[in-house]
Amino acid sequence: MFKLNLKIALRNLKRNFVISMINIGGLSIALAAFILIVLYVNYETSYDKHNPNYENIYIVGRDLKDFKTNFTPPPLAEIIEQNCPEVALVGKMTPSNLEFPLISDAGRIYIKNTMVMNFNAAKIFDLHPQGGLKQPQGEIERLYYLNEASMRTLFPNKKDSMPELVLMGGKTLGLTAPIQGKIVPNPHSNLQFDGVAIGNNLGVAEGFGFPNYYTYIQVKPGTDIKALEAKIDRLMKAGMIKEKIDMGSLKNERVFLDPLANLHLKPQAGNDTNYKVVMALFILSMLIVVIACINFTNLTIAQANKRAKEVGIKKVLGSYRQLLTMQFITEILIQCVLSMLLALMLAELFMPTFNNLFEVPLSLAAGAEELYWMLPLILLIVTFIAGVYPALILSGFKPALVLKGNFEAGLQTSWIRKGLLVVQFSIAVIFIAGILIVNRQVEYLHTEDTGFEANQVLVIKNQMMYNKPEVFATFRDKVMKINGVKSATVANVVPGGEQTGSNGYTVEGREALLDFIDVDYDYFETLGIKLKSGRTFSKEFKSDTLNAAIINETAAAKYGLLDPVGKTIRGCNIDYKIIGVIKDFKSQGFEAAVQPTIYAMKNPCGNPRLSIMLKVDAAQMSAVLAALKAQWSGINRLDGEDFRYDFLDDLYGRLFKKQEQLKAVFFTASMLTVFIAVLGLFAFAKIMTSNRRKEIAVRKVLGASDFQVLKLLNSSFLWMLLIANVLAWPLVYLLARTWLDTFAYRVELSVVPFALAGVISLLLAVITVSLQATKAVQANPAAVLKHE
């Protein structure tokens, strides 16, 4: 019986080749997109799952009421270790973002991301350096490891596992360090680095006033996390009180524990934008499959008339409905299998493009474990969704009505087909309106005023600490002699998403937590930041280097100050005098709101000023770069051999990378959805027009014009498209509002995307239906009616 069903199925595929290819092609495209996105979602949601203690690892964070941070003081690790027996391991680490060269006889590399950690942190993250994980000797020793690519560059002919000596920071310094060997960071981990320095303890001389470390804990199975969280919170506050830390606005601080599973997509100290993007992609892929299944179901039902006599004769000859149902399901299963095979080929074909867009190493081979059980399940689900109902419809025809010749399956299934078409185009409208809204927001990110000027600003990579204005003055004097350099400044961070520190500051008895940024002269002038009131730092006022401060509009509003200039603000054990208020600027991009911030030239709580920024005349950029490179050894003694730079607008633009990816994928998904919907409408219109050929011929004989007939054929589809738009618009609004709410600064929703989506969908429907209807309209009525 199966062999007979298989033969019938193949013959029907051949007889209805165009419709079958539309069915198989549309479904295969949808499944290919689904496979790619499922692999991506699985990759993004499984970071660090290779770690054997994945479910028991947490990072200790601090909730400071206004924001959350994962930075904690170094003594916290020791306190947890001594007082929390339910914690198996306590590790701490701190990132070193200082970029410096390592030099060997064979080559030179630049270390950009060094992770300094204690031995327990290396154990928690299951690190396996070359020669095995070894514990350093004593409190001072550090064991240094580099990633495989760096080791290959520095020591291309290395065969043994003995340590190698390298120069650090340039040949002129004469600093050396032994490299123990290579360490390969798992690319599927939250912990990424170029190199690792492992010690026994970190931050020994630093107290609770130096929250510059990440503290990780590995708890014992079955630990009550909420109770442990409260216990660590009490220990933290007791330590701060013991050290007489001025808690100020930190009195509302509390400790939280964030599981390792959250850190990649939805960390508590951060935002869940990445998680929402991943889930949005998964939902999009599901919708594409749904629209393809609807397409499949609709076209199968629409062809029912062609199979009616076959069903009638088989039933008269004694065939049972169950056997007929199995026959039709077999036909649909064959089409689904062909679609799945074609989908795998398409997924493999477009995998490199997808990987390049999202910078991931996906492959069908690597994802075989997930796909092994998933693809057969998807195949069965798609076959069931797309095939069971059409099979029941086709197998349920009444033999008497069919064989009399007065049976029209369309009358029985018309409402079903129309309903499915409405759902299909509702999804298409959601995609069309969605891409218009996404495109508008992404364009807004690139065109809206950020409050500062990133163009023509060089960010020079540097090892020299310019914490004192008099030290940087020498540097400034040298670079300002180069034609084309308009201004020069240095700070501890640049506006490109870099995180800065925070501290409590008091004005007129009111306490608040402010971000602090350490700057030098010409910082605001170099970045084109506008002044709201007062003045910026000036060499004419010597006190500016001691106790002058500038705040932004948000900080002034937080304190409720209408005229802050001249008032005193206390923080870091200094009474600062506010000399100016700057307009807010979006240093963290558009997703995070501008934080209340204070700028000072003297800040005991601050980090080293390493980020040099130069404003350069656009017409002389090439000449300035050449001059800086040639003169760098005389300008900056630590980096004399290595002049390296970035453009600030490029650094800032990286903040929009995820949204650019979402836009690209959403655009592709929208095109696929519209393409599948139009394919379905094309085939549906072809079948419907074919079924109404006699009606069209009779109307033409009775005097109807071609335009009137085309209008008649389009009218039923247009009503369905209008209903689809009305159903889609509320969903589009809810989805768009949810996505836009992830931005602190966003466009306002208007009727334009909704109206455009409606117009585009209607135009596509009219063009698609008219292309099919024109053939029937132009046919000779005599040729159609000659057999009547």
The DSSP code for 754 is H
pLDDT at site 387 = 66
Contact between 12 and 331 under an 8 Å Cβ cutoff? The reply is: yes
Instruction: Please name the residue that has the structure tokens 């200790």.
Output: 60
Q: Which of 433-442, 452-461, 544-553, 661-670 has the lowest mean pLDDT?
A: 661-670
Contact between 330 and 6 under an 8 Å Cβ cutoff? The reply is: yes
pLDDT at site 785 = 65
Strand, coil or helix: 787: coil
pLDDT above 90: percentage of residues in the chain: 27
Tell me how far the alpha carbon of residue 592 is from its chain's centroid.
15
Please give the residue that has the higher pLDDT: either 586 or 407: 586
Provide the total of helices (H) and of strands (E) in the chain, helices listed first.
24, 24
Q: Which of 10-24, 284-298, 730-744 has the lowest mean pLDDT?
A: 10-24
Strand, coil or helix: 34: helix
Per-residue pLDDT reduced to its tens digit, 127-168: 988 888 888 887 778 889 998 888 888 888 888 778 888 888
Spatial neighbors of 417 by CB under 8 A, at least 6 apart, are 298, 301, 302, 410, 684
Looking at the DSSP bridge assignments, the partners of residue 569 are 576
Distance CA 489, CA 23 (A): 63
Contact between 260 and 59 under an 8 Å Cβ cutoff? The reply is: yes
Average pLDDT, the chain: 83
pLDDT at site 565 = 93
pLDDT at site 453 = 92
pLDDT value at 728 more than 70: yes
Distance CA 84, CA 80 (A): 5
b/e per residue 610-630 (b: at least 16 CB within 10 A): bbbbbbbeeebeeebbebbee
pLDDT above 70: percentage of residues in the chain: 86
Rounded mean pLDDT of 770-787? 69
Q: Which of 263-272, 409-418, 542-551 has the lowest mean pLDDT?
A: 409-418
DSSP letters spanning 585-649: --TT-SSSPPPPEEEES--TT-----EEEEEE-GGGHHHHHHHHHHHHHHH-STTTT---EEEHH
**Of residues 10, 7, 31, the one with CA closest to residue 672:** 31
Q: How far is CA 493 from CA 46, 435, 497, 531, 648, in A?
A: 32, 35, 9, 20, 12
Q: Which of 130-139, 537-546, 588-597 has the lowest mean pLDDT?
A: 130-139
Spatial neighbors of 670 by CB under 8 A, at least 6 apart, are 431, 432, 434, 435
Per-residue pLDDT reduced to its tens digit, 81-109: 999 999 999 999 988 877 888 888 888 88
DSSP letters spanning 418-462: HHHHHHHHHHHHHHHHHHHHHHHHHHHHHHS--SS--TTEEEE--
pLDDT value at 249 more than 70: no
| Secondary structure percentages of the chain, helix, strand, coil, to 5 | 50, 15, 30
Q: What is the pTM of this model?
A: 0.80
Rounded mean pLDDT of 398-420? 59
pLDDT at site 79 = 92
Which helix or strand (DSSP H or E) is residue 549 part of? strand 548-552
pLDDT at site 410 = 45
**Of residues 339, 432, 424, 429, the one with CA closest to residue 680:** 424
In the structure, what pLDDT confidence band is assigned to residue 267 with cuts at 50, 70 and 90? Answer: very high
Domain positions in the chain: 2-43+273-446+657-785, 54-262, 457-655
pLDDT at site 437 = 92
The DSSP code for 208 is T
pLDDT at site 409 = 47
Q: Which of 426-430, 566-570, 677-681 has the lowest mean pLDDT?
A: 677-681
Distance CA 513, CA 504 (A): 4
In the structure, what pLDDT confidence band is assigned to residue 251 with cuts at 50, 70 and 90? Answer: low
Contact between 339 and 31 under an 8 Å Cβ cutoff? The reply is: yes
**Of residues 49, 47, 50, 92, the one with CA closest to residue 266:** 47
pLDDT at site 89 = 94
Which helix or strand (DSSP H or E) is residue 14 part of? helix 2-15
Rounded mean pLDDT of 389-398? 65
**Residue 401 exposed, middle or buried by CB count within 10 Å (0-12, 13-18, 19+):** middle
pLDDT value at 734 more than 60: yes
pLDDT at site 403 = 56
Rounded mean pLDDT of 623-639? 87
pLDDT at site 1 = 57
b/e per residue 662-671 (b: at least 16 CB within 10 A): bbbbbebbbe
Distance CA 288, CA 93 (A): 44
Distance CA 488, CA 458 (A): 9
**Residue 120 exposed, middle or buried by CB count within 10 Å (0-12, 13-18, 19+):** buried
**Of residues 695, 681, 689, the one with CA closest to residue 785:** 695
pLDDT at site 411 = 46
